[in-house]
Amino acid sequence: MRILIVGVGTRGDVAPYTGLGARLREAGHEVAVAAHEPYRHLVTEAGLDYLPLPGDPLSLLSISAFRHYGEQLVEGLAGLAGQRADLVLTGVAGTPACHVAEAMGVPSMGVHLQPIDPTGDFPPVMSVVHRSLGRWGNRRAARLAFEVPAAGPLVAGLSTRIRARLGLPPMPARALYLRRETMRWPVFHGFSPLVVPRPADWRTGLEVTGYWWPFRPPGWRRDPRLRDFLASGPKPVFVGFGSLAGTRAERYTELAVGALRAAGLRGVLQTGVRGQLSDDVLAVGDVPHDWLFPQVAAVAHHCGAGTTGIGLRTGVPAVAVPVKHDQPFWASRLTALGVAPAALPFRRLTSARLAAALTTVVTDPAYRRRAQSLAAGMAAEDGAAPVVAAVDRLSGAAR
């Protein structure tokens, strides 16, 4: 079976699909991943076929480029209809690719990194409102996100525009949602049920499988400078702000260095610069987190879904510094699980606040004990297996 995985977004939206794709390839399927150009190497290094999507999602970190990116995304997704595929798998940001599958005449499934379906357990994950609205309010608000086109220029009318571009009959957002629910459109969620238990009020077809870990190329070698730094003193802490780091690298680096100095800690930074900043601070580029995190005393990060998962997998206590989108949700889970103190929203972050939080998680052993206990439970999970099994069943039925 030829499988097309649509990974719209930044690095954290693509990397988990390299691991999932590699497992599907091992099961005997052909796998292609559609992603933006900056993440081509993630796909090809995993031995998967790469299909380009136009546009750079990092441009959305500035305020100006929403409409242009939306236009590029419509064209890029619609262009995938000309590819060969027997099944389309799509993440949250690439959900309009289900229309591409319809145009191709093939089935589709969701492979979501965030739990966006309506539930009373928590408010809409991608909303600007992060406090609970009560069980009824939480469900209603999440359903409205499906039924009412968003006000922003990027999302508003995206399904309508793609359907028109593909020559499919128009269908309002509410009708699309009702069709999705009536057909029990299958969605697999790539995070641990120990981190987010499957909501009891979810319908049939919505499954929580466990994490899909990014593929690490077998030829990867650690940087000797990083190896030597890690061996040269007490365990450092990690500070990284994900894709945001590249937008104001010097400012974020200055903030992190100030926090480390105030806390008296060594640090490995992933803040958009590189090099030995002092005897106690090393700034690095792209390093596999599953290799790095077990060697640090704590991780302070932006709470992207993937970084959150790898931090939990490696049993390291955290400092949550959420920025936007689903990040406040993952930050709240870290706090609820007892592996992090109260979150520090990025807009209110200072060196002093970051220093205090890092000191807390490094000196209080309870955070590490809870992180290690959770990691032990997650080690028994195989998040890719249910997806592979579902694809195999579909492949067998098609023969």
Q: What is the pLDDT at residue 173?
A: 84
Residue 152 has pLDDT above 70, yes or no: no
Q: Which residue has the tokens 């289900």?
A: 98
Q: 3-state DSSP helix/strand/coil percent for the chain, to nearest 5?
A: 45, 15, 40
Say whether both 171 and 298 belong to one domain: no
Sheet strands (E) in the chain: 2-6, 30-36, 49-53, 87-90, 108-112, 187-189, 206-208, 237-240, 267-270, 275-278, 281-283, 299-301, 318-320
Q: What is the pLDDT at residue 154?
A: 43
Residue type, 266: R
79 occurs within a structural domain:
yes
More confident position, 324 or 372: 372
Residue 222 has pLDDT above 70, yes or no: yes
Average pLDDT over residues 357-385: 96
Residue 149 has pLDDT above 80, yes or no: no
- The 3-state DSSP class for residue 89 equals strand
Q: What is the pLDDT at residue 90?
A: 94
Give CA angle at 312 (215, 8), nearest 5°: 45
The pair of structure tokens assigned to 322 is 């959420």
Q: How far apart are CA 300 and CA 26, in angstroms?
A: 34
**The 275-278 sheet, strands edge to edge:** 275-278, 281-283, 267-270, 237-240, 299-301, 318-320
Say whether both 389 and 371 belong to one domain: no
Lowest-pLDDT choice from 1-5, 66-70, 384-388, 392-396: 66-70
Residue 131 has pLDDT above 80, yes or no: yes
Q: What is the pLDDT at residue 247?
A: 61
Q: What is the pLDDT at residue 136?
A: 94
- Within a 10 A sphere around the Cβ of 204, how many other Cβ atoms? 7
Reading phi first (left if > 0) and then psi (alpha if -120 to 50, else beta), residue 144 is in: alpha
Say whether both 367 and 253 belong to one domain: yes
Say whether both 153 and 238 belong to one domain: no
Say whether both 229 and 203 belong to one domain: no
Using the 8-state DSSP alphabet, how is residue 205 labeled? T
Say whether both 174 and 262 belong to one domain: no
Say whether both 157 and 61 belong to one domain: yes
Q: How far apart are CA 311 and CA 302, in angstroms?
A: 11
Which residues in 172-197 are b (16+ Cβ under 10 Å) and which e? ebeebbeebeeeebbbbbbbbbbbbe
Strand partners, 33: 5, 50
Residue type, 102: E
Question: 58 is in which domain, residue-wise?
Answer: 2-113+148-212+383-398
Say whether both 191 and 238 belong to one domain: no
Q: What is the pLDDT at residue 10?
A: 86
Task: Burial-class residue 62 by CB neighbours within 10 Å (0-12, 13-18, 19+).
Answer: exposed
Please report the sign of the dihedral spanned by the C-alpha atoms of residue 386, residue 391, residue 392, residue 397: positive
Please check whether residue 38 is in contact with residue 13, taking contact to mean a CB–CB distance below 8 angstroms. no
Q: How far apart are CA 397 and CA 182, in angstroms?
A: 21
Which pTM does this prediction carry?
Answer: 0.92
Say whether both 200 and 274 belong to one domain: no
Q: How far apart are CA 325 and CA 94, in angstroms?
A: 15
Question: What pLDDT, in 10s, does the model give residues 92-125?
Answer: 888 888 999 999 999 999 999 999 999 999 999 9
- The 3-state DSSP class for residue 77 equals helix
Lowest-pLDDT choice from 80-89, 142-151, 220-229, 280-289: 142-151
Say whether both 249 and 289 belong to one domain: yes
Lowest-pLDDT choice from 10-14, 240-244, 341-345: 240-244
| 318-320 and 299-301 strand pairing | parallel
Say whether both 58 and 170 belong to one domain: yes
* CATH number of the domain that residue 204 is part of: 3.40.50.2000
Using the 8-state DSSP alphabet, how is residue 54 labeled? -
Residue 150 has pLDDT above 90, yes or no: no
244 occurs within a structural domain:
yes
Residue type, 371: A
Q: How far apart are CA 295 and CA 326, in angstroms?
A: 27
75 occurs within a structural domain:
yes
Say whether both 52 and 188 belong to one domain: yes
Please check whether residue 112 is in contact with residue 190, taking contact to mean a CB–CB distance below 8 angstroms. yes
User: 170, 196, 162, 38: which is closest to 90 by C-alpha?
Assistant: 162
Lowest-pLDDT choice from 7-16, 203-212, 289-298, 362-371: 7-16
Please check whether residue 62 is in contact with residue 13, taking contact to mean a CB–CB distance below 8 angstroms. no
Phi, psi of 83 (to 5 degrees): -85, 165
Q: What is the mean pLDDT of the chain?
A: 89
Question: What pLDDT, in 10s, does the model give residues 30-86?
Answer: 999 999 998 999 999 999 999 999 877 766 555 556 667 778 888 899 999 999 999
More confident position, 238 or 71: 238
130 occurs within a structural domain:
no
Residue 156 has pLDDT above 50, yes or no: no
138 occurs within a structural domain:
no
142 occurs within a structural domain:
no
59 occurs within a structural domain:
yes
Structural domain count of the chain: 2
125 occurs within a structural domain:
no
Phi, psi of 345 (to 5 degrees): -55, 135
Q: Which residue has the tokens 């979810």?
A: 202
Phi, psi of 278 (to 5 degrees): -165, 180
Average pLDDT over residues 147-162: 63
